[in-house]
Structure 1
Amino acid sequence: MRPGIFSMVKLGEMNHTTLVIGFYAEGPTDIRFLSKVILRTTEQIILNRSSSVISVLEPFPIEVDKTGDRVQEILQAATKAAGYNILIIHADADDKTDKKAFKERINPGFQSVQQDENEEFCKNLVAIVPVQMTEAWMVADKEALKEELGTQKNNQELGLTFPLKQVEKIADPKSKIQEIIRIAFKDLPARRRKVQISSLYSPLGQQVSLDILEQLPSYLKFKTNLTNALIKLNYISLKTTKPR
Structure 2
Amino acid sequence: MTRRRLFLRVGLYAEGSSDYDFLLPLLNRLLPPLAASRFPGTCEVADSLGIDAPHPAPEERAERIAAAIVDRWEECTLFVIHADGAGDPASARRSCIDPGIEAARRTYPNVVTVPCVPVRETEAWMLVDVDVFRTLLGSGAQPALPAEPESEKEPKLTLKRLLKAGGMRRNPERLYSSFGEEVSLEALRTLPAFRSFETDLAEAIRAVARSQKWPG
The answer to whether structure 1 residue 143 and structure 2 residue 131 are counterparts is yes
Residues 22, 61 of structure 1: 8 Å contact kept: yes
Change (3 A) 1:86 1:184: same
Q: CA deviation at 1:102?
A: 0.9
Q: CA deviation at 1:26?
A: 0.9
CA radius of gyration, larger in: 1
Which among 47, 63, 68 is matched to residue 72 of structure 1? 63
Distance 2:124 2:16 in 1: 15
Identity %: 26
TM-score, normalization by structure 2: 0.87
Which among 60, 79, 83 is matched to residue 87 of structure 1? 79
* Secondary structure class of the residue paired with 2:159: helix
Distance 2:84 2:115 in 1: 10
> How many residues end up aligned between the 2 structures?
209
Q: CA deviation at 1:223?
A: 1.0
Partner of 2:19: 30
Runs of at least 5 residues in structure 2 that lack an aligned partner in the other structure? none
* Secondary structure class of the residue paired with 1:203: helix
Residues 144, 207 of structure 1: 8 Å contact kept: yes
Distance 1:58 1:194 in 2: 31
Partner of 1:228: 203
The answer to whether structure 1 residue 177 and structure 2 residue 159 are counterparts is yes
Partner of 2:150: 168
What letter matches 1:87 in structure 2?
F
Partner of 2:191: 216
* Secondary structure class of the residue paired with 1:201: helix
Distance 2:130 2:4 in 1: 39
Q: CA deviation at 1:221?
A: 1.3
Residues 6, 209 of structure 2: 8 Å contact kept: no
TM-score, normalization by structure 1: 0.77
Q: CA deviation at 1:146?
A: 2.6
Partner of 1:201: 176
Q: CA deviation at 1:233?
A: 1.9
Distance 2:136 2:59 in 1: 36
Q: CA deviation at 1:228?
A: 0.8
